[in-house]
Amino acid sequence: MKAPGKNCGNIFGSPAVYKMLVLKISEYPLNKELLRRYMTDIAPDAGFVREVPAKRYGSRPTEDKALRIADLNRRIAEVDRALQKIPAEYRSGVLYHTIYHGHKGIQGGKGCSWSDKMFSHAHPNTWKKWKTRFILEYASIIGELDYICLLNEYRPTVPQPGDSSGNPPPDVVE
């Protein structure tokens, strides 16, 4: 399916979809750290570690850990594949901005903006273009692009009436 074009009011269909995609991408450093911890926990001395069977029925700690590791590998690979579609000189900046933009007060950081020094070698519009393409590529990899296109296709073209505070009316079920 073709990606939404510039003429769509909001490329991602809705702000909620965009935030969901950014949130999944922003877990990238955490996923890498969790994977590192799981891998060092599995073989601390590069030898075979035998786990003691649990007392309760159905508990499979080794299998659970292997499934968690496979899931973390998949999530990391999805972000890495999307990054490969971005020119090399923009990859680290786009990833950094996607992860840390708007994180003021979180993780002890001040957030970041396109006017920061690290982004000075290109115009902010160039950075925004590559960030948008990165997030759309990520959406395509995880299977959300069809949903985004569907949202864009069925978005109302006429402004909907709202109440006095500007909120849209609730959906009426007939």
- Predicted confidence (pLDDT) per residue in 109-119, tens digit: 556 766 667 77
Q: What is the pTM for the complete model shown?
A: 0.68
If one counts the domains in the chain, the total is: 1
C-alpha to C-alpha distance for 3 and 49, rounded to whole angstroms: 48
In a domain, 171, yes or no: no
In a domain, 169, yes or no: no
Nearest-CA neighbor of 143 among 34, 20, 27, 8? 20
Task: Estimate the share of the chain in helix, then strand, then coil, as percent rounded to the nearest 5.
Answer: 55, 0, 45
Q: Is the Cβ–Cβ distance between 140 and 149 less than 8 Å?
A: no
Band (pLDDT 50/70/90 cuts) for residue 123 is confident
Which residues constitute the domain of residue 130? 15-49+61-153
- Helix boundaries (H) for 84-123: 88-100
In a domain, 34, yes or no: yes
In a domain, 161, yes or no: no
In a domain, 123, yes or no: yes
User: What pLDDT was estimated at residue 105?
Assistant: 45
C-alpha to C-alpha distance for 135 and 123, rounded to whole angstroms: 19
